[in-house]
A and B are shown apart, each in its own frame.
Chain A
Amino acid sequence: MNAIIALSLFGISSLFLGFLNNRKILLPATLIFILIALGLNFADWNHEYFWFNGMLKTDNLSINFSTVILVAALLVVAISRHFGDDEEHSHPAEYYAIMLFSVVGAIMMVTYENLIMLFVGLEILSVSMYVLTGSDKRNLRSNEAALKYFLMGSFATGILLFGVALVYGATGSFQIHGIGAAVNEAKAQMGGQYGPILMAGTILIMVGLLFKISAAPFHFWTPDVYDGAPTIFTAFMSTVVKTAGVAATYRLLSTSFPGMYGLWGNPLVYITGLTLIIGNITAVYQQSFKRMLAYSSISHAGYLLITVLAKRPETNSSILFYSLAYSIATISAFAVLIVVSEAKAKAGKADESFDALNGLAKNNPFLAFVLTVSMLSLAGIPLTAGFFGKFFIFTDAFANPSILFKGLLVIAILMSAIGIYYYFKPIIAAYMRNGDTEKIEISPIYKYTLILTTALTIILGIAPDLVKKLF
């Protein structure tokens, strides 16, 4: 909880740091801020507390999710080294402050007890993201992305809010545990017949949340927004925002609406299947590396939804492990993309397609290796964390006896095989195709961050228990 307060204060202080002439201090300061928040985060470990008159509730699950979010934020900030070098972003302090604020929103989304707090957290996160998406002020695509994201995002938030109001009307409570009790009572009394208001409310809330995690068919904004936003914020969106959205969905469904599984269970299975199919198949046809990663993030939302649905005691740790594995690998991939596309832009040939990676293994073997490990992890191949992420999810899914789930599992397996196809495109480009021979240099902080993410991916792929035990 202290993390929320501390991060809010840190956000304001980093705005003031912007007044200093020395801009170099911003990046290390922000890193230290997040590290402090990460430490404070654990203060509530093993204590379940209600905060602010029951608006928020910390428990170990929420702390774990906050940890994943903070680690992802830390890594994204660490690779933002080059950001602010150009005219365009001459006041980087604002962006660092906004990132810190959005992390506050993300943590609220995984800690909420009252649906109002879910809304507030979601808005803090979303509004920050609208601004960051449009931060390439002179870039038409960035502007388009921001506007698109803003219009569709606020529409989705409106739907969510409407759902919250309806649920409140039906159950008389904003507290997720209170709603859960009311739902169970309704189930006991009416034998599974819920009032139309409660059903409509549940579905509207879910639509709002599914929009945020870009599950199909609510995913149409994702590719354009991810593609248009500055890459560093795309990395932020596809890790921090995604984790927070999935955690919020999971918290709500597992606390308030487990009694209504009959209502939302099967539709969500179809949505998950659709998300997997659309995410993976569309990714195959992409020529742009960045856009491929956008579709890959849609498909990973699908895998995460599988375990949200699976209703198994192990689900907690499966979601956490998967989110962590996915976030680390995604940040590695985006970091490589940032470095490579910057080098291309400097040479006057701005390029974010797979061709930009051609010959990377010759120009910078280290980056090629980092890229390979992250792609293997996203594809779920052994020796990387992604394999165990998928493995835990498949095990959870298989334990669910429903026949519909078996179908979902087969789709997930087929889509994993398709995933290998497009995740190997960058590897093939880096190792087997010849490109321009230009030296790509990376700064030390980049190098250490990438060593960290790559090592973590491999270590978690060999000894997953190191982290899984903690969850």
Chain B
Amino acid sequence: MLTISLILLPIIAGLITLTTKGENTKKVAAAFAFAELALGLFIYGSFVPDATTQFATSFDWIHSAGIKFSVGIDGISLILVCLTTLMVPFIILSTYGNDYKNAPTFYALILFMQAALIGVFTARDIFLFYFFFEAALIPVYFIAAIWGGENRIKVTFKFFVYTIFGSLFMLLALVYLYLQTPGIAHKSDFASIYEAAKMLDITQQSYIFGAFFIAFAIKMPLFPFHTWQPDTYVEAPTAGTMLLSGIMLKMGTYGLIRFVLPIVPAAVDKYGMIAVILSVIGIVYGSIIAIQQKDMKRLIAYSSFAHVGLMSAGIFSGNIDGIQGALIQMLAHGINVVGLFFIVEIIQQRTNSRELARLGGITQTTPNLTVYFIILMLGSVALPLTNGFVGEFLLLKGVYAYNAWVGAIAGLTIILGAVYMLRMVQKSMFGITSKITEGFTDLTFSEKAVLFPLSFMVIALGLAPNMFLKLTEPAVIQLLSIIK
């Protein structure tokens, strides 16, 4: 029941938000998002660290087809539920400086999006998963397409069609798996599907792998399916970008862990190398482009593309370090990228510019902003004692164990990451004050209310990663036992 309320609360909150007016809208939306966070923390607190699915609820959805509305949380889901419930309140708080037209719809869409995301991460039935996977796209499409920048119509449309196109292939794979379950009345819960998947031969597995790979590779995105991403991130309003990069791209990595590894292990064994190589190309390619960016938002978009490449390489390496690293990195990357996009938003609001060449010298008037920016940046660069370090270290260890050469190239991410991140901070914050950065005011209270908790989490997760790694470990070990 707890999981269901986790999904229902944002929906109800969204509907209530739609009826509010004026300043109240933001407050109501934030209040509900924090209530959801409290619920999420409660689940985190009462989660027993073993491999079982907890807080499970299940009832008939489409009876004749054996499809159930089945939700529950295991270690892998938990980390993403935590990410979603943690990030959304801060995403809402980060919009306090803006006045959006039709604000009630805007905040309602964010909350609907949250419900769909929680649904994706807690679904225990393949069709329920697909249902939420696609449903999550609708609110974020409208957020980006209505409140976005100048080119929004074309860019967001490409994003929408591209991702749905990928998901349709996943639907094919899911229906195929569903029809493989025994009996006239097929079943579609995860356990039955995992069981049925054991009977697949390598040809069948290869087709299914292909279908899943297209869907998730577009979603994350991996090279060469990434062309929708930078434009969409840049054109979307910052809250939309945060949702997209902070949470939504994890739907792809989550799908890899949840479906691709346990369902088609033989195909992963056969074609995993291609996927890993594509991921590593993404890391290097994304980083090199990020180094040359002039626009801060675009720079972070490419850095996000590079980071997700490492996560996917870790997952495809198929060992415990790779998967554990990917899980902790999903959380860490979510925190860092939301924080960084918020800082870009702050700078843009004050100066009307995101161009590195026009900025500079902001530090002189803004000690607070500088500290938070540097903490978040270091988290993203994966300096020891920050959250990024734990994830990247485990990921690189996993990829290295899979193949030393690939691991070595993937290791470039740390060097290249430091180059583009430090370059961004240096060009925007240090140096001589430019015309537009004169009189740059320091953080307001509501901005601190977002950046302080995020920076705190960067360090806390870096110091005590075990508070999450312990919880995910049993589930990951069980997952690996299915593969072997």
Residues of A within 8 A of B (CB): 314, 317, 376, 381-383, 387-388, 391-392, 394-395, 398-399, 409-410, 413, 416-417, 420-421, 424, 428, 431-433, 463-465, 468-469
Interface check B438, CB cutoff 8 A:
no
B138 close to A394 (CB less than 8 A)? no
Min Cβ gap B263→A in Å is 17
1/0 per position for B146-173, CB-CB distance to A under 8 A? 1000001100010011001100110110
B153 close to A382 (CB less than 8 A)? no
Identify A399's interface contact among B60, B64, B160, B179, CB under 8 A: B179
A417 close to B161 (CB less than 8 A)? yes
How many Å lie between the Cα of A314 and that of B67 in the bound state? Answer: 14
A465 close to B171 (CB less than 8 A)? no
B172 close to A432 (CB less than 8 A)? no
For the complex of A and B, list the 4 residue pairs with the smallest distance between their C-beta atoms, beginning with the closest: A417-B165, A382-B134, A382-B135, A413-B168
Near A by CB (< 8 A), chain B positions 60-114 give: 60-65
A383 close to B135 (CB less than 8 A)? yes
A417 close to B164 (CB less than 8 A)? yes
B157 close to A394 (CB less than 8 A)? no
Identify B153's interface contact among A383, A409, A428, CB under 8 A: A428
What chain B residues lie within 8 Å of A417 (beta carbons)?
A: 161, 164-165, 168
The closest CB in chain A to the CB of B165 belongs to A417
How many Å lie between the Cα of A465 and that of B172 in the bound state? Answer: 21
The closest CB in chain B to the CB of A464 belongs to B62
Identify B64's interface contact among A314, A382, A424, A432, CB under 8 A: A314
Q: A394-B175, A417-B161 are in contact. List 7 more A-B contacts (CB 8 A).
A: A314-B65, A381-B134, A388-B62, A420-B161, A424-B157, A431-B145, A469-B63
A420 close to B160 (CB less than 8 A)? yes
What chain B residues lie within 8 Å of A420 (beta carbons)?
A: 160-161, 164-165
B63 close to A416 (CB less than 8 A)? no
How many Å lie between the Cα of A413 and that of B132 in the bound state? Answer: 19
How many Å lie between the Cα of A376 and that of B131 in the bound state? Answer: 14
Interface size on B, residues (CB 8 A): 32
What chain A residues lie within 8 Å of B142 (beta carbons)?
A: 431
What chain B residues lie within 8 Å of A314 (beta carbons)?
A: 64-65
How many Å lie between the Cα of A413 and that of B169 in the bound state? Answer: 8
Give 9 A-B contacts (CB < 8 Å), ordered by A residue: A317-B64, A376-B138, A381-B134, A381-B164, A382-B131, A383-B135, A413-B171, A420-B161, A465-B62
B157 close to A428 (CB less than 8 A)? yes
What chain A residues lie within 8 Å of B175 (beta carbons)?
A: 391, 394-395, 398
Interface check B127, CB cutoff 8 A:
yes
Interface check B32, CB cutoff 8 A:
no
What chain B residues lie within 8 Å of A382 (beta carbons)?
A: 130-132, 134-135, 138
Min Cβ gap B277→A in Å is 27
The closest CB in chain A to the CB of B145 belongs to A432
What chain A residues lie within 8 Å of B456 (beta carbons)?
A: none
How many Å lie between the Cα of A388 and that of B67 in the bound state? Answer: 12
The closest CB in chain B to the CB of A463 belongs to B61
Min Cβ gap B155→A in Å is 12
How many Å lie between the Cα of A69 and that of B164 in the bound state? Answer: 32
What chain B residues lie within 8 Å of A392 (beta carbons)?
A: 65
A409 close to B146 (CB less than 8 A)? no
Secondary structure of the B contact surface, majority rule: helix
A421 close to B62 (CB less than 8 A)? no
Highest count of chain A CB atoms <10 Å: which of B135, B137, B142, B178: B135
What chain B residues lie within 8 Å of A387 (beta carbons)?
A: 131, 134
Residues of B within 8 A of A (CB): 60-65, 127, 130-132, 134-135, 137-138, 142, 145-146, 152-153, 157, 160-161, 164-165, 168-169, 171-172, 175-176, 178-179
B60 close to A465 (CB less than 8 A)? yes
B178 close to A409 (CB less than 8 A)? no
Min Cβ gap B213→A in Å is 16
Identify B172's interface contact among A383, A394, A468, CB under 8 A: A394
What chain A residues lie within 8 Å of B132 (beta carbons)?
A: 382
Q: Taking A428-B153, A432-B145 as contacts, is the C-beta distance between A383 and B138 under 8 angstroms?
A: yes
Min Cβ gap A459→B in Å is 13
How many Å lie between the Cα of A394 and that of B168 in the bound state? Answer: 11
Highest count of chain B CB atoms <10 Å: which of A395, A421, A424, A468: A395
What chain B residues lie within 8 Å of A465 (beta carbons)?
A: 60-64
Min Cβ gap B5→A in Å is 17
How many Å lie between the Cα of A454 and that of B135 in the bound state? Answer: 17
How many Å lie between the Cα of A463 and that of B68 in the bound state? Answer: 11
What chain B residues lie within 8 Å of A469 (beta carbons)?
A: 63-64
Min Cβ gap A219→B in Å is 24
Identify B176's interface contact among A398, A421, A424, A464, CB under 8 A: A398
How many Å lie between the Cα of A398 and that of B160 in the bound state? Answer: 26
A391 close to B127 (CB less than 8 A)? yes
How many Å lie between the Cα of A465 and that of B179 in the bound state? Answer: 19
A431 close to B146 (CB less than 8 A)? yes
Identify A421's interface contact among B137, B161, B169, B178, CB under 8 A: B161
The closest CB in chain B to the CB of A399 belongs to B179
What chain B residues lie within 8 Å of A376 (beta carbons)?
A: 138
What chain B residues lie within 8 Å of A394 (beta carbons)?
A: 171-172, 175
How many Å lie between the Cα of A287 and that of B157 in the bound state? Answer: 18
How many Å lie between the Cα of A123 and that of B258 in the bound state? Answer: 55
What chain B residues lie within 8 Å of A433 (beta carbons)?
A: 153
What chain A residues lie within 8 Å of B161 (beta carbons)?
A: 417, 420-421, 424
A409 close to B164 (CB less than 8 A)? no
B64 close to A468 (CB less than 8 A)? yes
Highest count of chain A CB atoms <10 Å: which of B131, B142, B146: B131
What chain A residues lie within 8 Å of B60 (beta carbons)?
A: 465
A428 close to B145 (CB less than 8 A)? yes
What chain B residues lie within 8 Å of A428 (beta carbons)?
A: 145, 153, 157
A432 close to B153 (CB less than 8 A)? yes
What chain A residues lie within 8 Å of B157 (beta carbons)?
A: 424, 428
Identify B168's interface contact among A317, A416, A463, CB under 8 A: A416
What chain A residues lie within 8 Å of B165 (beta carbons)?
A: 417, 420
What chain B residues lie within 8 Å of A381 (beta carbons)?
A: 134, 137-138, 164
Min Cβ gap A84→B in Å is 37
Highest count of chain A CB atoms <10 Å: which of B130, B137, B138: B138
What chain B residues lie within 8 Å of A431 (beta carbons)?
A: 142, 145-146
How many Å lie between the Cα of A413 and that of B168 in the bound state? Answer: 6
What chain B residues lie within 8 Å of A409 (beta carbons)?
A: 172
Min Cβ gap B346→A in Å is 27
How many Å lie between the Cα of A327 and that of B171 in the bound state? Answer: 24
What chain B residues lie within 8 Å of A388 (beta carbons)?
A: 62
How many Å lie between the Cα of A264 and that of B160 in the bound state? Answer: 38
How many Å lie between the Cα of A432 and that of B153 in the bound state? Answer: 7
What chain A residues lie within 8 Å of B160 (beta carbons)?
A: 420, 424
Highest count of chain A CB atoms <10 Å: which of B61, B169, B175: B175
A398 close to B138 (CB less than 8 A)? no
Min Cβ gap A468→B in Å is 6
Identify B146's interface contact among A317, A416, A432, CB under 8 A: A432
B62 close to A468 (CB less than 8 A)? yes
How many Å lie between the Cα of A420 and that of B168 in the bound state? Answer: 12
Identify A432's interface contact among B152, B164, B169, B179, CB under 8 A: B152
What chain A residues lie within 8 Å of B172 (beta carbons)?
A: 394, 398, 409-410, 413
The closest CB in chain A to the CB of B63 belongs to A465
B179 close to A395 (CB less than 8 A)? yes
How many Å lie between the Cα of A394 and that of B178 in the bound state? Answer: 12
Min Cβ gap B299→A in Å is 27
How many Å lie between the Cα of A410 and that of B165 in the bound state? Answer: 12
How many Å lie between the Cα of A432 and that of B154 in the bound state? Answer: 11
What chain A residues lie within 8 Å of B168 (beta carbons)?
A: 413, 416-417
A395 close to B63 (CB less than 8 A)? no
Min Cβ gap B60→A in Å is 7
Min Cβ gap B249→A in Å is 19
The closest CB in chain B to the CB of A417 belongs to B165
B65 close to A395 (CB less than 8 A)? yes
How many Å lie between the Cα of A433 and that of B64 in the bound state? Answer: 43
The closest CB in chain A to the CB of B133 belongs to A382
How many Å lie between the Cα of A416 and that of B127 in the bound state? Answer: 18
How many Å lie between the Cα of A276 and that of B454 in the bound state? Answer: 50
